[in-house]
């Protein structure tokens, strides 16, 4: 069992990583919440696997429980699901003494966190992430959001959880594609950090190694993310580094309408941004190859889809939250473990990305 403490201006909370933790989720939650009503928000894949166990353990620890289920998938990060959940919380008479527990992947965590943030102007929130991506990234740091047709995560809040309970055993039921996509965010973190973390991902030469190394990979990723979030909770500066690979990645994910999972789109974004900066002479070309090798070793995609057009890509980038004034800030590396940022005027964007979009249709 390991615990990482995250302290921000808003809150100080523990992230506990422990195999089998789900079996004592009730007593673990009772250490931070007094007995109350808990709305467990889950999805149609995770609910049938884990909701009953979580419900029983919470009831045994003195909580009253309502389970609310949303359809699995990115399309649930939407206004209709927010409204449905808010109505359900109200119908169940949740008060400001009660709480929301997210049981699922990043979709459930982002959605449930947003609902917890706005219901009654904010009620208690706990994260029990069950996908690799959620265990290494989305459950920590307080970004909650839903999507708009114009862009990913365009409506949301910074709303830190009271506790994050990570049970790596839940990864044993995760379909292989979902395990691999979560690894995209791990490579992002390891490339930003370098050192022992980068050495660890170099040992992952096939998908099976992700599960075998899950505990240290989760620990390294969360320890890094916690440091960044504690230094810059609201993304005024260095938190933008966590968006490495996301400018192109979010655009590809949005354009694909479900074709790519988040971590897959990030993998494409990481390699393509590296190629972009290498073409500008700002990043060694070998770094792009190193990222490509780490990602393709587990079968992640790294190429821009051939049917993506330059016009569509540019359109999908227009709502990136790293646009300040008339410029878009890109994250890149000068070496493994040496991240940097570079602002490009929006008027120059089409020319700027031409080195990687050249083969695409206009």
Ligand X SMILES: NC(=O)c1ccc[n+]([C@@H]2O[C@H](COP(=O)([O-])OP(=O)(O)OC[C@H]3O[C@@H](n4cnc5c(N)ncnc54)[C@H](O)[C@@H]3O)[C@@H](O)[C@H]2O)c1
Ligand Y SMILES: O=C(O)C(=O)C[C@@H](O)[C@H](O)[C@H](O)COP(=O)(O)O
Catalogue the active-site residues: 121, 143, 185, 225, 235, 239, 243, 246, 250, 262
Residue 240 binds ligand X, judged by CB under 6 A? no
Give the tokens for residue 359: 């083969």
Stretch that binds ligand X, among 59-67, 128-136, 295-303, 342-350 (CB under 6 A): 128-136
**Nearest distance from C-beta of residue 33 to ligand Y, angstroms:** 24
Q: Measuring CA to CA, how many Å separate 148 from each of 36, 76, 156?
A: 33, 11, 11
Per-position x/- string for 101-120, each x denoting binding to ligand X as judged by CB under 6 A, each - no binding: ---xxxxx-x----------
Q: How far apart are CA 281 and CA 33, in angstroms?
A: 53
State the Cα angle at 294 between 292 and 296, rounded to 5°. 60
**Nearest distance from C-beta of residue 351 to ligand X, angstroms:** 29
Q: Is 167 annotated as a binding residue?
A: no
Q: Is 107 annotated as a binding residue?
A: yes
Spell out the residues 6+ positions from residue 61 whose beta carbon is closer than 8 angstroms to its own: 26, 27, 29, 30, 35
Residue 235 binds ligand X, judged by CB under 6 A? no
Among 32, 72, 88, 155, binds ligand X (CB under 6 A): 72
Q: Measuring CA to CA, how many Å separate 311 from each of 119, 148, 174, 247?
A: 39, 19, 36, 15
Residue 245 binds ligand X, judged by CB under 6 A? no
Residue 245 binds ligand Y, judged by CB under 6 A? no
Helix (H, G, I), strand (E, B) or coil at 74: helix
Q: Is 228 annotated as a binding residue?
A: no
CB atoms within 10 A of CB 71: 12
**Nearest distance from C-beta of residue 282 to ligand X, angstroms:** 26
Strands 99-104 and 338-345: unpaired
Q: How far apart are CA 69 and CA 45, in angstroms?
A: 9
43 binds, among ligand X, ligand Y, none (CB under 5 to 8 A by kind): ligand X
239 binds, among ligand X, ligand Y, none (CB under 5 to 8 A by kind): ligand Y
Give the tokens for residue 327: 């410029």
Q: Which residue is nearest to ligand X (CB)?
A: 106
78: left (phi over 0), alpha (psi -120 to 50) or beta: beta
Residue 185 binds ligand Y, judged by CB under 6 A? yes
Q: What is the CA radius of gyration of the chain?
A: 20
Residue 226 binds ligand X, judged by CB under 6 A? no
Q: Which residue has the tokens 């996908």?
A: 131
Give the tokens for residue 125: 């929130």
Backbone angles phi, psi at 214, to 5 degrees: -55, -45
Q: How far apart are CA 224 and CA 135, in angstroms?
A: 13
Nearer Cβ to ligand X, position 108 or 333? 108
Q: Which residues pair with 40 in a beta bridge?
A: 67, 101
Stretch that binds ligand Y, among 55-63, 137-145, 280-288, 302-310 (CB under 6 A): 137-145
**Nearest distance from C-beta of residue 157 to ligand Y, angstroms:** 11
Q: Which residue has the tokens 């990481």?
A: 270
**Nearest distance from C-beta of residue 125 to ligand X, angstroms:** 12
**Nearest distance from C-beta of residue 64 to ligand X, angstroms:** 25
Residue 153 binds ligand Y, judged by CB under 6 A? yes
Among 26, 99, 141, 339, binds ligand Y (CB under 6 A): 141
3-state helix, strand, coil in the chain (%, to 5): 50, 20, 30
Binding residues for NAD(+): 106-110, 130-131, 143, 152, 170-173
Rule CB under 6 A: which residues touch ligand X?
A: 43, 45-46, 49, 72-74, 77, 104-108, 110, 130-131, 133-134, 137-138, 141, 143, 152-153, 170, 173-174, 178, 181, 261-263
Binding site for ligand Y (CB under 6 A): 137, 141, 143, 152-153, 185, 235, 239, 242-243, 246, 321
Which residues contribute to the annotated binding site? 106-110, 130-131, 143, 152, 170-173, 185, 246, 262
């Amino acid at each position: 069992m390991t615990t990482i403490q995250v302290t921000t201006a808003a809150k100080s909370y523990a992230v506990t990583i422990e195999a089998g933790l789900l079996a004592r989720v009730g007593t673990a939650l009772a250490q931070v919440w007094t007995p109350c009503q808990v709305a467990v928000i889950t999805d149609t894949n995770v609910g049938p696997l884990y909701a009953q166990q979580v419900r029983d353990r919470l009831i045994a620890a003195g909580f009253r429980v309502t389970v609310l289920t949303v359809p699995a998938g990115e399309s649930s990060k939407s206004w209709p699901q927010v409204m449905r959940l808010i109505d359900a919380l109200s119908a169940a008479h949740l008060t400001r003494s009660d709480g929301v527990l997210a049981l699922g992947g990043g979709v459930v965590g982002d959605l449930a966190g947003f609902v917890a943030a706005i219901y009654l102007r904010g009620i208690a929130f706990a994260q029990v992430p069950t996908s690799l991506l959620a265990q290494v990234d989305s459950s920590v740091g307080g970004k909650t959001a839903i999507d708009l047709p114009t862009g990913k995560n365009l409506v949301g809040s910074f709303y830190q959880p009271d506790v994050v309970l990570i049970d790596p055993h839940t990864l044993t039921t995760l379909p292989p594609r979902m395990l691999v996509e979560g690894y995209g965010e791990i490579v992002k973190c390891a490339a930003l950090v370098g050192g022992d973390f980068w050495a660890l991902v170099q040992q992952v030469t096939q998908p099976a190694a992700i599960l075998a190394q899950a505990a240290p990979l989760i620990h390294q990723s969360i320890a890094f993310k916690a440091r960044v979030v504690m230094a810059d909770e609201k993304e005024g500066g260095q938190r933008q580094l966590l968006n490495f690979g996301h400018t192109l990645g979010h655009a590809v994910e949005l354009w694909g309408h479900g074709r790519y999972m988040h971590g897959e789109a990030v993998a494409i974004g990481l390699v393509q941004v590296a190629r972009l900066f290498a073409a500008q002479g700002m990043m060694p070309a070998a770094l792009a190859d190193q990222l490509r090798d780490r990602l393709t070793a587990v079968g992640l995609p790294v190429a821009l889809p051939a049917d993506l057009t330059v016009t569509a890509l540019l359109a999908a980038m227009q709502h990136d939250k790293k646009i300040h004034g008339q410029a878009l800030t890109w994250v890149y590396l000068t070496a493994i473990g040496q991240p940097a940022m570079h602002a490009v005027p929006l008027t120059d964007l089409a020319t700027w990305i031409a080195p990687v979009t050249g083969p695409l249709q206009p």
